[in-house]
Amino acid sequence: MANRHKNICYRCESVATTREHFPPKSFFPKGGNLQLNTIRSCVKHNNSKSNDDQYLLAQICINASKGDNLAKRIFNRSIVPMFERSPAFINMITQNAERLPDGSVRYLIDTDRFNNFFDSLSCAVFFDKFNRQYAPNTHTMSHVYLSLGSDDPQINEQKKLVGSMLEYFFKNHRDLIEHFEADHVDEVVYTNELIAPAGMDASITIAHSFYGVFEVVSMLTYKLQRVCE
């Protein structure tokens, strides 16, 4: 398995010729000389998900915008100009949107795009922590979107259980959680809480937070390994 000292991409065996920001640089305000986290990447894994990055940024900012907070300012700076340039992008974001009786709008999200984004982000966090690529043969990965509403009772029950698990862990085992906070000027853009007390050879939980409002939990569940006799 590749490690970061061999100049190998964080997601594949290709030579890393670029560095990818995680989370993407577009999520942060311009200026301020921010020292953002980067990971070694091949061109494919750095550039192929740029559309997903912009889609996620738009949806997260829509969800997290409150008054004149940072999410609202980034939406106005980065997403509004894209709306003006690309009717197709507007359609991608607003497709099947529904206006509710209280005047608010419910946007349907593309789950595949969300999963692709958080797969990459979680792989970057894993690689940065353990100096090893995430391996699908040892872990399965899934994401729970705590800040998104759903009409599916099973999804809502899962969100409730995961939220309760995190609350218990934060209250009783804070010493086992590693906190990361991305560089910022005034308002925090991104943080994560990494729960991996047994290291990479066990299940791992990553609790992501964007703009202090949008919460996602990534679960890297360890597969039991069969012992050969």
Residues whose CB is less than 8 angstroms from the CB of residue 44 and which lie 6 or more positions away in sequence, other chains included: 12, 14
Residue 41 — φ and ψ, nearest 5°? Answer: -150, 150
Torsion region of 66: left, alpha or beta (phi above 0 gives left; psi -120 to 50 gives alpha):
beta
| Rounded distance between C-alpha atoms, residue 30 and residue 158, angstroms | 37
pTM, two decimal places: 0.91
**15 touches 8 (CB < 8 A):** yes
**123 touches 23 (CB < 8 A):** no
Q: What is the mean pLDDT of residues 31-45?
A: 87
Domain ranges of the chain: 4-106, 135-222
Residue 193 — φ and ψ, nearest 5°? Answer: -115, 115
229: confidence class by pLDDT, cuts 50, 70, 90: low
Give pLDDT tens digits for 128-174.
999 999 999 999 999 999 999 998 999 999 999 999 999 999 999 99
Q: Is the pLDDT of residue 81 over 60?
A: yes
Q: Is the pLDDT of residue 181 over 90?
A: yes
| pLDDT at res. 1 | 45
Distance of CA 177 to the CA centre of its chain: 18
Question: Which tokens is 99 given?
Answer: 């206006």
Residues whose CB is less than 8 angstroms from the CB of residue 37 and which lie 6 or more positions away in sequence, other chains included: 21, 22, 124, 128, 182
Question: Which tokens is 32 given?
Answer: 């301020």
Give pLDDT tens digits for 85-114.
999 999 999 888 888 888 888 888 999 999
**130 touches 202 (CB < 8 A):** no
Give pLDDT tens digits for 40-59.
999 888 877 778 899 999 99
Q: Is the pLDDT of residue 2 over 50?
A: no
| pLDDT at res. 103 | 81
